């Protein structure tokens, strides 16, 4: 989709603080769900504020390949004519999930209940990500799924995945599953398979992960009950129909995090982002930043798309190192890389624990962030489940950073580079378009000087 992909950026040191009020792309997680659920609805849905982030585009293309009609009606607006829950068609080709773990894992839940075969493929990063976390429980309810064996971890499987068909006359059965990880992708895949199951789905996770799936399914009339981290979906008595819906997707808290932290670590900055989703399962970074002493104001703006939204302003205040662990970690899981930037500019030590999930994201984010921090001259130690980071006074060391194809690493490195004593180069930047296509332009609008090469 992007003709001019930015592959390398040179970030110049900030001369004065970042200042302004800017939009952020719409929420990637909610975008995936809006596309997926509208495709399974009976009737027409309208999605406003679509971000064109490449991960969301992967989901749109997969649903098109199975018969949903996804049309661009205006910039940022999509009209989706769903197939109905039972109306998906066998895709002609493999479904390419690109870089998007959410696309692959959520689709696996939907495809598990289909009478046809499908193949799910992804890019090099996605092809290294573990899939047994969804395949295991789906197989336990009767799904037929195969994948590539993991080269070193016995029992783990990797993409490509081949899903289905269910043997003739067979349906998915009931499932009672307690997940060891707090993961919205696992939870969502299981709930989606539950829409096709004969019997109840019961799911529990250690602490609450993002709950966009539950919110949306509930709004669509799916019989779902939640108590704390427990969910029960009992389709008995449900007619299996979801009506078309209209949604305006809230701004992405995970994208906003880069801009807010940039303001919070550079003196003289003040940045406002509007219409940002503040679902409590996503606000861990804001709590971490506040706890470290950051300048932060959150002004609620009501609800949008069944989610709370707010105008959020970040500004510089002296930061203190803290311990980041426990239930806040799943609620900040995608923001831990940028939380490392807060730690790098704080006084004292920040210890991040309970974040082993970072090892299996778009890159091994514990190892990659340790490398990035050291390249900028920040002292840090890798732990199996986190990092210990010593805040550094004065300018950082200019660096040349390889993002490892990980958008959140590339963006964190760009924010750190603003505080270096000379220009820094971030290579392998095209991945930024998976979640924040206008990242460079937005930083420039706030006063950053960045040269981009395509």
> Which residues here bind ligand S3P, judged by CB under 6 A?
29, 32, 102, 183-185, 188, 209-210, 333-334, 357
Residue (54 or 334) nearer to ligand S3P, CB = 334
Give DSSP secondary structure letters for 337-394: HHHHHHHHTSBSEEEE-S-GGGGGSSS-HHHHHHHHHHHTT--EEEETTEEEEE---S
Residue (91 or 101) nearer to ligand S3P, CB = 101
| Per-residue tokens: 199 | 């019997």
Residue (334 or 430) nearer to ligand S3P, CB = 334
| Per-residue tokens: 440 | 């460079």
Phi, psi dihedral angles at 274 (to 5 degrees):
-110, 155
User: Nearest distance from residue 332's CB to ligand S3P, in Å?
Assistant: 10
Q: Is 276 helix (H, G, I), strand (E, B) or coil?
A: strand
DSSP character for 250? P
C-alpha 306/C-alpha 326 separation (Å) is 27
Hunting for tokens 């018969």 — which residue is that?
67
Q: How many whole angstroms from its chain centre is CA 291?
A: 23
Residue (179 or 442) nearer to ligand S3P, CB = 179
User: Nearest distance from residue 305's CB to ligand S3P, in Å?
Assistant: 14
User: Nearest distance from residue 53's CB to ligand S3P, in Å?
Assistant: 11
- The length of the chain in residues reads 454
User: Nearest distance from residue 124's CB to ligand S3P, in Å?
Assistant: 18
Residue (212 or 392) nearer to ligand S3P, CB = 212
Q: How far is CA 431 from CA 2, 6, 133, 354, 357, in A?
A: 11, 9, 25, 26, 20
Residue (55 or 96) nearer to ligand S3P, CB = 55
Active site residue 234: no
Residue (210 or 345) nearer to ligand S3P, CB = 210
Residue (269 or 403) nearer to ligand S3P, CB = 403
Q: Is 312 helix (H, G, I), strand (E, B) or coil?
A: strand
User: Nearest distance from residue 63's CB to ligand S3P, in Å?
Assistant: 16
**Computed over its alpha carbons, how large is the radius of gyration of the chain?**
21
The answer to whether the beta carbons of residues 317 and 347 sit under 8 Å apart is no
- Among the listed residues 55, 96, 252, 334, the single catalytic one is 334
Give me the helix-helix angle, 365-375 and 336-344, nearest 10°.
Answer: 30
Give me the helix-helix angle, 101-111 and 54-65, nearest 10°.
Answer: 20
Report how many helices (DSSP H) and strands (DSSP E) the chain contains, helices first.
Answer: 12, 24
User: Nearest distance from residue 363's CB to ligand S3P, in Å?
Assistant: 12
| Per-residue tokens: 399 | 């660096």
Cis peptide before 358 (omega within 30 of 0): no
User: Nearest distance from residue 91's CB to ligand S3P, in Å?
Assistant: 22
Q: Is 148 helix (H, G, I), strand (E, B) or coil?
A: strand
User: Nearest distance from residue 357's CB to ligand S3P, in Å?
Assistant: 6
- Count of alpha carbons within 13 angstroms of residue 389, beta-carbon side: 36
Catalogue the active-site residues. 334
């Amino acid at each position: 989709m992007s003709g001019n992909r930015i592959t390398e950026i040179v970030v110049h040191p900030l001369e004065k603080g970042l200042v302004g009020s800017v939009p952020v792309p719409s929420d990637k997680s909610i975008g995936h769900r809006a596309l997926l659920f509208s495709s399974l609805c009976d009737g027409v849905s309208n999605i406003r504020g679509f971000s064109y982030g490449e991960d969301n585009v992967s989901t749109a293309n997969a649903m098109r390949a199975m018969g949903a009609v996804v049309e661009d009606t205006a910039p940022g607006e999509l009209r989706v004519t769903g197939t109905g829950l039972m109306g998906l068609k066998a895709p002609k080709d493999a479904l390419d999930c690109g870089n998007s773990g959410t696309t692959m894992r959520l689709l696996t839940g939907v495809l598990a209940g289909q009478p046809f075969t499908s193949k799910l493929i992804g890019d090099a990063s996605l092809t290294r990500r573990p899939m047994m976390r969804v395949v295991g429980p789906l197989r336990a309810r009767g799904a037929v799924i195969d994948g590539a064996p993991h080269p070193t971890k016995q029992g783990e499987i990797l993409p490509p995945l081949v899903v289905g068909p269910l043997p003739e006359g067979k349906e998915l059965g009931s499932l009672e599953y307690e997940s060891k990880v707090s993961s919205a992708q696992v939870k969502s895949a299981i709930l989606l398979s539950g829409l096709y199951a004969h019997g109840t789905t019961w799911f529990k996770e250690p602490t609450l992960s993002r709950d966009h799936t539950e919110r949306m399914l509930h709004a669509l009339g799916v019989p779902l009950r939640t108590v704390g981290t427990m969910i029960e979906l009992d389709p008995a008595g449900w007619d299996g129909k979801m009506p078309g819906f209209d949604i305006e997707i809230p701004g992405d808290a995970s994208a906003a995090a880069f801009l807010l932290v940039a303001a919070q670590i550079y003196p003289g900055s003040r940045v406002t982002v509007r219409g940002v989703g503040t679902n409590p399962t996503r606000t861990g970074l804001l709590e971490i930043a506040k706890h470290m002493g950051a300048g932060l104001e959150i002004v609620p703006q009501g609800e949008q798309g069944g989610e709370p939204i707010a105008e959020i302003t970040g500004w510089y205040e002296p930061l203190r190192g803290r311990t980041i662990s426990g239930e806040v970690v799943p609620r900040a899981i995608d923001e831990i890389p940028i939380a490392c930037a807060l730690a790098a500019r704080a006084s004292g030590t920040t210890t991040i624990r309970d974040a082993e999930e970072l090892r299996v994201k778009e890159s091994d984010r514990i190892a990659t962030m340790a490398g990035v921090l050291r390249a900028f001259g920040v002292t840090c130690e890798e732990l199996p489940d986190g990092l210990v980071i010593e805040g550094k006074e004065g300018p950082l060391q200019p660096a040349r950073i390889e993002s490892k194809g990980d958008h959140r690493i590339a963006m964190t490195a760009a924010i750190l580079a603003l505080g270096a004593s000379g220009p820094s180069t971030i290579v392998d930047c095209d991945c930024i378009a998976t979640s924040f296509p206008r990242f460079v332009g937005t930083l420039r609008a706030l006063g950053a000087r960045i040269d981009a090469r395509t």
